[in-house]
Amino acid sequence: MNTIVITGASSGIGKATAKYFAGKGWKVAATMRKPANETELNQHDNISLYGLDVTDEASIANAAEQILNDFGAVDVVLNNAGYGLLGPFEAATPEQIKRQFDTNVFGLMSVTRAFLPHFRANRAGLFLNVSSIGGLVTFPLMSLYHSTKWAVEGFSESLSYELGELGIRVKIIEPGGVATDFSGRSLVLAGKEGLTAYDEVMGKFQANRAKFGLNASTAEFLAEGIYAAATDGKTQLRYLIGEDAEQTYAMRQQAGDDAFIAGMKERILT
């Protein structure tokens, strides 16, 4: 039986993917910060819950050890846990910036490192790293979120060379807008008392935010795309999932950097 480990499986893309893989007969290690609160995934025969906070090295090591003991082998690791920090860079506190990178970048690296010895020993395994269309282009007022996802892109692409030599694959998942908790409870706002210089640009951004197609895809659609990436046997690195993601990336490639950025300004900041 094939096995997958998923981070951030308590909601959204992670939860939908856990259910989708379990439905296809995979054994799923659904990891999350608070497994005691989970009431749905623990009803599935093929899904086991594990506590894992990607910002806590000890919890990653414990979960990896337990999962490898219980499952014997892991085929795929889906690095999915993440959230967005929105607002002007200047308004974000150093703590907010650190937590954004600790979760989206260093957490993903730590989970990757925890499963590498197992993949190396097997000369097999696949890391599926969830980035975003926001790892390939940028939208205004999300400089910190984008910088984490651009980091995931560079890390994953370069890592794929060295791990490829050892029989281990890396793929990047690039969702467009997905209807999850991402733009609700998972979105952290950067705002600094008395810093009003960005109010106008922030107001324009908020007024035009809907143009991003925030809920363009469902989490189930993402799960299907992630399953295809896990099972298609291709050497493809990037998987754009969602029509909005495909269109935005095609636009960036056709228009080039400067024209794309001018177009974004026109759409979002006027």
Ligand X SMILES: NC(=O)c1ccc[n+]([C@@H]2O[C@H](COP(=O)([O-])OP(=O)(O)OC[C@H]3O[C@@H](n4cnc5c(N)ncnc54)[C@H](OP(=O)(O)O)[C@@H]3O)[C@@H](O)[C@H]2O)c1
Active-site residues, by number, are 131, 145, 149
String of contacts with ligand X for each residue 191-230, x by CB under 6 A: ----------------------------------------
Q: What is the contact mask toward ligand X in residues 64 to 103, using x (rule: CB under 6 A)?
A: ----------------xxxx-------------------x
Quote the tokens at residue 105.
């970048």
Question: Quick one: which of 6, 41, 54, 240 contacts ligand X (CB under 6 A)?
Answer: 54
When the beta carbons of 29 and 197 are compared against ligand X, the nearer one is 29
Candidates 173, 218, 220, 178; CA nearest to 17 is 220
Nearer to ligand X, 180 or 248 (CB): 180
Looking at the DSSP bridge assignments, the partners of residue 239 are: 173
Q: Is 186 in the site for ligand X (CB under 6 A)?
A: yes
C-alpha angle with apex 156: 268 to 81, nearest 5 degrees? Answer: 65
Binding flag, residue 248, ligand X (CB under 6 A): no
Residue span binding ligand X (CB under 6 A) among the ranges 32-40, 202-210, 246-254, 261-269: 32-40
Cβ atoms 185, 143 nearer than 8 A = no
Q: How many CA atoms are closer than 13 Å to the CA of 84, on its beta-carbon side?
A: 23
Query: Shortest distance, CB of residue 194 to ligand X, whole angstroms?
Result: 29
Of the ranges 38-46, 136-144, 176-184, 231-239, which one interacts with ligand X (CB under 6 A)? 176-184
What is the phi-psi region of residue 179: left when phi exceeds 0, alpha when psi lies from -120 to 50, beta otherwise?
A: beta
Interface segment toward ligand X; rule CB under 6 A; list 11-19, 63-71, 201-209, 259-267: 11-19
Tell me which DSSP letter residue 75 carries.
-
Is 14 among the residues that bind ligand X (CB under 6 A)?
A: yes
* Cβ count within 10 A of residue 122: 14
User: Quick check: 172 and 236 in contact, CB under 8 A?
Assistant: no
* Burial readout 16-26 (b: 16 or more C-beta within 10 A, e: otherwise): bbbbbbbeeeb
Which of 2, 51, 55, 159 contacts ligand X by CB under 6 A?
Answer: 55
> Partners of 32 in the beta sheet?
51
Nearer to ligand X, 88 or 175 (CB): 175
Residues in Cβ contact with 80 at an 8 Å cutoff, skipping those fewer than 6 apart: 6, 7, 8, 9, 13, 14, 17, 130
Contacts with ligand X, 98-127, as mask; x by CB under 6 A: -----x---x--------------------
Interface residue list for ligand X (CB under 6 A): 7-8, 10-14, 32-34, 53-55, 80-83, 103, 107, 130, 132, 175, 177-178, 180-182, 186
